[in-house]
Structure 1
Amino acid sequence: MNEFLQAFVSLLAITNPIIAAPIFLGIVAGMPVAARRRSAGQAAMAVLAILAGAAIGGRYILELFGISLDAFRTAGGLVIILVGLDMLRGSPSGIQQDHASPEDAQDRIVVPFAMPLVAGPGAITTAITLSVAYPSRLYLPVIALFASVATAAVLWATLRLALVRQRLATPRVERIFTRFMGLILVAIGFQIGMLGIRDFFGLGGA
């Protein structure tokens, strides 16, 4: 359970649904109410597919390129720390941002909203890192997969709430949430990175 909570909090922090909500509202502005609701579900499903794919297949991709799990845990932990430090400054990490502006609003639900704004390189790296981060009684990607499902569910709920109350994601709430989750993300990234360094150099205890 502790490993699941850490994985869930990591993905939740880096996808940051509260930050994403006002952007989503801008994308769906002008759509019928029913279409907006469907778009929230489509965005959540797209994010789930991206994160789950990274959690399930990421380990095999590493093996294909000959990258050790410990080395990736260390590098992934560093990426998570850098994203968290950016968030501590009160703004979304640059690794999550995208400046593309596709013409069709429905297409923008998937690109750039679901990817790379929400499930961008940082979130994908986090999902892969979490899938190999903690030795567990469970098959390694399962925890990251469940965390991906929970993250997508929170994103869906946040977007639906934002549609009901468009003032939910105020600038002040965004700043507070971003800084708090940034601090959590730095701590989790540091722990994952240190575990990778320990195991890479064979420093683990009995």
Structure 2
Amino acid sequence: MNEFFAAFSFNEIFKATMVLFAVIDIIGSIPIIIKIKETSGDIHSSRITLVSLVLMIAFLITGESLLMLFGVNVESFAVAGAFILFAMAIEMIMGVELFKETPMKGKSAGIVPLAFPIIAGAGSMTTLISLRAEYEMVNILIAILINMAIVITVLRLTRRIERLLGPGGVAILKKVFGIILLAIAVKLFASNAASLFVK
């Protein structure tokens, strides 16, 4: 219990929450959510959020062990993650498509592609491992829970949020978080790249 409170940090929770929020980009995904609702009917926000939560926590806990099986350390993965975050930031800022996803139809449309890969996709998984190199596990777990609370809220209030922000508001918000994500990618690279060259 003492170790838990010693590791607990509001500063780390805030930073990890903002990083995950920028990567998940649930606000920027509102047009996609609306499209899925129109083509597949109503979506199950609770189920989608639960699946996303399980995937992210599972990867946070076992991700490092999986990397060790391939002989990759956290620092190396963090640097690789920095490149992924950089590419995602360029997508958000420039409005280009670097990551192409295959759309799914039918009963899996709610889980795929919302839970995976939009919410708990490659970007989120890479970010979680990268955060492990920077922050304590408990703070990242809390950051995940905060983001899942935001996700389920957005999923339930998608139409209202879109009307409130308007197309221009969503676009501006996406670019702002793109710039933040770009800065995070640069910092993540700078913090871990040096360790790759130290024997």
Normalising by structure 1, report the TM-score.
0.81
Shift of 1:169: 5.2
Shift of 1:25: 2.9
**Counterpart position of 2:178:** 182
Q: What are the residue-to-residue correspondences of 1:84-103 with 2, within 5 Å?
A: 84-90=89-95, 94-95=98-99, 97-103=100-106
1:65 is the counterpart of 2:65: no
Q: What are the residue-to-residue correspondences of 1:111-190 with 2, within 5 Å?
A: 111-131=112-132, 133-134=133-134, 140-164=136-160, 167-168=163-164, 170-190=166-186
Is the 1:84–1:186 Cα contact (8 Å) retained in structure 2?
A: yes
Unmatched tracts of structure 1, length 5 or more: none
Q: Is 160-169 or 4-13 further displaced after alignment?
A: 160-169
Q: Report the count of equivalent residues.
A: 190
Shift of 1:163: 4.6
Normalising by structure 2, report the TM-score.
0.83
Q: Distance in 1 between matches of 2:45 and 2:30?
A: 10
**Counterpart position of 2:15:** 6
Q: Distance in 2 between matches of 1:162 and 1:78?
A: 30
Q: Distance in 1 between matches of 2:116 and 2:70?
A: 24
Q: Distance in 1 between matches of 2:139 and 2:195?
A: 20
Shift of 1:187: 0.9
Q: Distance in 2 between matches of 1:98 and 1:80?
A: 17
1:19 match: secondary structure: coil
Change (3 A) 1:81 1:166: closer
Q: Distance in 2 between matches of 1:163 and 1:145?
A: 29
**Counterpart position of 2:35:** 26
Give the letter for the 1:184 counterpart. Answer: I
